[in-house]
Amino acid sequence: MVKIKICGFTRRQDIEEAVRLGIRYVGINFFPPSPRFVKPAEASKLLADLPEDVAKVGVFVNPDEKFLFRTAKVLRLDAVQLHGNEPPWLAKKVRDRFRGEKLVIKAVRVENEKSLENVRIYKADYILLDSSSGDTYGGTGRRIDYSLLGTRPLPWERIFLAGGITAGNVADVLARFKPFAIDVASGVEMAPGIKDREKMELLVHNTRKFYENNS
């Protein structure tokens, strides 16, 4: 079954509820302009004592290198997600620095067919495909133009698919694509950074139901 990553947590109670529902990838946003921004000191409390099988993902956008490496180390993140316009060498540097200790996820904003070349160019453990929305980096609720994803072979076994995924459309998404994981933020929120328990529960339910109906 596809993995589910929920991103942009700002409250401990929402993380605990997500973990109870079976979510195993929890994303914290370290990009100050984002409405879901969390300071490292606050993130430490949010991520404390989570089960070992829950991956703590730090989301960075065009970060200062020292801040990135220090935050990833101090918070003992399991994955570093680069969600901006970082150059390929930075993704490789992060991956080399942690030598398998932490996963590297590189977001690729799908603007056109040419932008999918970045899937090949970036040397990361996983690629996250997201919609493009000007200077906004993720969490917009906008869907990718799915017609672009059929223009070339993609390594779906290491792709996180994001962009406007909700409980209402997740079955259609999974019927069309077979990603390693789906990534959801605004699709399970009542406000930016404030998760809705019922929406999270329905997302998990509909995802499991899709596989039960197609097994």
* Alpha-carbon span 141 to 184, nearest angstrom: 9
CB 170 within 8 A of CB 208: no
Q: Is residue 7 annotated as a catalytic residue, yes or no?
A: yes
CB 66 within 8 A of CB 98: no
Of 7, 14, 78, 183, the catalytic one is 7
Residues 6 or more apart in contact with residue 119 via CB below 8 angstroms: 108, 127, 129, 154, 155, 159
Of 14, 78, 130, 183, the catalytic one is 130
> Phi, psi (5° rounding) for residue 213?
-80, -15
SS (H, E, C) 130-170: EECECCECCCCCCCCCHHHHHCCCCCHHHEEECCCCCCCCH
DSSP element (H, E) containing 104: strand 103-110
> Catalytic residue positions?
7, 130
